[in-house]
A and B are shown apart, each in its own frame.
Chain A
Amino acid sequence: MSVEEVTQKAQDLSIEQPSTVLSNEKEFQLKHPLNSKWTLWYTKPPVDKSESWSDLLRPVTSFETVEEFWAIHNAIPKPRYLPFKSDYHLFRNDIRPEWEDPTNAQGGKWTHQFWGKTPDIDDLWMRALLAVIGETIDEDDSEINGVVINIRKSAYKIAIWTKSADNKEALTNIGSKFKTVLKLGEDSQLEFLPHSTASEKHPQPSLVL
């Protein structure tokens, strides 16, 4: 086969080019996948005594990419706008934001209460969300199950829920980073409460940072 024939055959080969941003700039939509699927839950405040917990806690939507996260985050009301006794929960996959869920049962939560008016609560909540979905707060394994904000009349509470409650080293690392995310100073305390003590009247934290 001559050189000309080889060149001709090579040109005749139809190699399918992968779609890139250069091939069609308008239609190309690049999405950044997250490590997990995340589900946003909302606890509606009770307005009637007949409403039970299961009636109030409902999943809102799920997302798997950074772009979907931003679309949802920009659309939903921010914590400062929510009525009292509302909660937002963002949990991995299909974990229910309840102690009874098997993935939560052996775990606990790092929690901090912001008393009074907290003007930057929306920003702090967003920082907590980004740290959780970006997986930067949990270096070793998928120890984080979810993150919660409670809107109450006298305070806001942000908590990060973990899978275990006895891995002190891993929990301390998570707690230290979480404290930075929430912009807490040395005078502010972050407490870890195992879910096993949640039903107690005055549960004592097993770890304090």
Chain B
Amino acid sequence: MTQDLLPQVRLRHWGRWISGVLIVLVLLALSWGAAHGDISYRDIPYYLWSPIILKGLVGTIVLAVVAQGVAIVIGILIALMRISHNPVARVFAGAYTWLFRGLPVLLQILLWYNLALIYPRLTLGVPFTDLKVLDVETNAVMTTFVAAFLGLALNESAYMAEIVRAGLKSVDKGQIEAAQSIGETPAQRLRRIVLPQAMRVIIPPTGNDFINMLKGTAMASVIGYVELIRAANNISSFNLQVMETLIAAAIWYMVIVTVASVGQYYLERGFDRQDRRTGPASLRRRIALNLGRPPMVRSPQ
């Protein structure tokens, strides 16, 4: 015997239509305003590819990559000290994090840049002898790049230490015991078992931090290091096209941040391979899935 089911009328989401239209109207109004400002948009493509801006772009990327890379290495070391059995190392790591996380990055950059005011020469010698391994003028070493690098990298290393520590703590104690039981040394356990698993916890916040780092390099402009903003200012100080050059810089920021985000996505997926069965689909597949899914699903008639 077949049972006849009654037709069902699904809920209509009128509110979504109204709010959607409102948002589009506001965006149109804003675009109209932007289009009628006193700005020469046609010059922006020229600035995008001008050698000065491109030099600034390279400056931004190099500074961010080097600072983040060194910060990750220092961060791992500080995190290991933080969880070590040596109380001196633990206290040192805590104090390090407290100091370099506590001071504004801009202040740290300025302090490094002006180091020559208190130490005119940097000397590294063997104690109780006259032997000098290193003896240079501080200002010769402390270029704008080095000062900005130190300020950004040391600050970031304090954050990385906390991220790495959280990652290490997230690995089950049984993993370490299993590694012990097959005779792995402490170094092997860390390298082969703990770190690869901690990476899944470490990478997402590290990706966020790197994106912040890309933007944080803007602070190096204060001491004259040529990155995107400094490059934009260098141009506009001649021709007064302040907004045009800054927007060119803004576009480049968006491009590199987008590239970094996509890179982060694939990096996370790489470290999630043991969850392949349940893990996220590839970016392309996910976009395709979402495009294919209508915003309001009605039951078929």
Chain A partners chain B: no
Residues in A lying within 8 Å of B, measured CB to CB:
none
Residues in B lying within 8 Å of A, measured CB to CB:
none
